[in-house]
Amino acid sequence: MKNYLETGQIVKKLKRREKEDLIMAYELSKHPSNIASSAVAYLKTIKVSEKSKRIYGEVLYFFIESLCSDPSAVIETEDGHYVLHNDWDAYYGGAVSGFIDWWLPRKVMDDTLQARAPGVFRKWIKWCCQHNDFDEEHYNDYLEALPREKSREVKRLQKAGDLLYLLHSPDPGAWMNNDYEKVVLINHTREPEELDEGYMRIVQLTRDSAYLKNEDGTQRGPLLIGSELAKLLNVGDVINVVIGRYGKRWRVLESGNVYAEGTIF
């Protein structure tokens, strides 16, 4: 009985994956662009695990979505949808670096996808060049635009985000267990004299503090972040935070993600 049930579950899972693959192929093939057609053709050839194949499909799908954000690159269909019209020859390396370094971190909060995107892209463009979708000049330009060691950078930013969170929620497990009595937010013990929030670029780091500049150009600091986080962050990184001033120093009251330089502003 157990084997029968397990077999039934496997069949259902395979059918669900087949359905997902068909949906992905449909979403890509609706674009009258040789970029989309090459994505569909490439996905049919790869021999990887189901999990990896899903990541491959999502990377290619999101790349085309990023190109569609340019109004001059799309046309409107009869049913009112906008689809990619531009072909490979309309793009050089800037489209690739813009997708990997700017569009993907802002639009897709998935560390695994961000880490694997350059490798997926590298294999795809090599396949496209071999199948004459574009010339060697385009291929070299795309290749040079791909960042290396992206996985290490994503892990650094993820760890920085975790440490940033611990500054204002030292017992994150309490949130998961709904044990709110163990969590005392900084701004609940004393009201800050001044507040600021939003995306802020790090302009200077000291042993345990950071100096920031918000989107309006106003500088804030010193912000107490601790020595471990100060060693992990880089000047130019952008943090999404709510900060409060207590005397001469600022503290983190709420936090979101940490982004590499050039990703946000």
Write out pLDDT tens, residues 11-50.
344 344 555 555 666 688 899 999 999 999 999 999 888 8
CB 141 within 8 A of CB 229: no
pLDDT score, position 2: 41
* 95 to 64, 141, 162, 187, 260: CA distances (angstroms): 10, 10, 31, 43, 18
Q: Look up residue 256 and give its DSSP letter.
A: E
196-219: pLDDT as tens digits = 999 999 999 999 999 999 999 999
The CATH code belonging to domain 155-259 is 2.40.50
Q: Tell me, yes or no, if the pTM score tops 0.75.
A: no
CATH 2.40.50 residue spans of the chain: 155-259
